[in-house]
Homo-oligomer: A and B are copies of this chain.
């Protein structure tokens, strides 16, 4: 299964593609889309749409995993994140690719074992899990990879539980 992880944002939008197979996760691509903060909101969203279209066409993920954002003290930031998320929903939807959401706590817990891990810990574990020569930079790129890993591992756990439930029902 191939997952495109997305740490949504307009100033920096982290994107990471990870392939997963039984107990293994391999990085396929990682990057950050930046749009200028002094540009019009419309222009920023159009640019992000073009970039996402490109990533989806190039890497053809089975699923897009996006960070679920909650209220924040910075309203502008939350709105920009929500707008970026809408573009992910739209571009993925046009290709029939499902979009799933994971909270920051779920992502941290999946990757480091603790829902309260800091950014450095997440980056370190992502680097280790994907056997990368050096840590992915900036933090948004590492977060996007962490999201993809989280989805792969949570999906595997869910599948195991469902199999157990089925076996129990027999």
Contacts and interface: CB of A to CB of B under 8 A. Distances in A.
Q: What bracket does the count of chain A residues touching chain B fall in?
A: 20 to 34
A99 B44 CA distance: 13
A85 interface: yes
Interface in A60-75: 69-71, 75
Contacts of A79: 69, 82, 85
Interface in A88-143: 89-90, 92-94, 98-99
A30 interface: no
Contacts of A156: none
A158 interface: no
Given A45-B93, A46-B94, A93-B40, A82 B75 contact: no
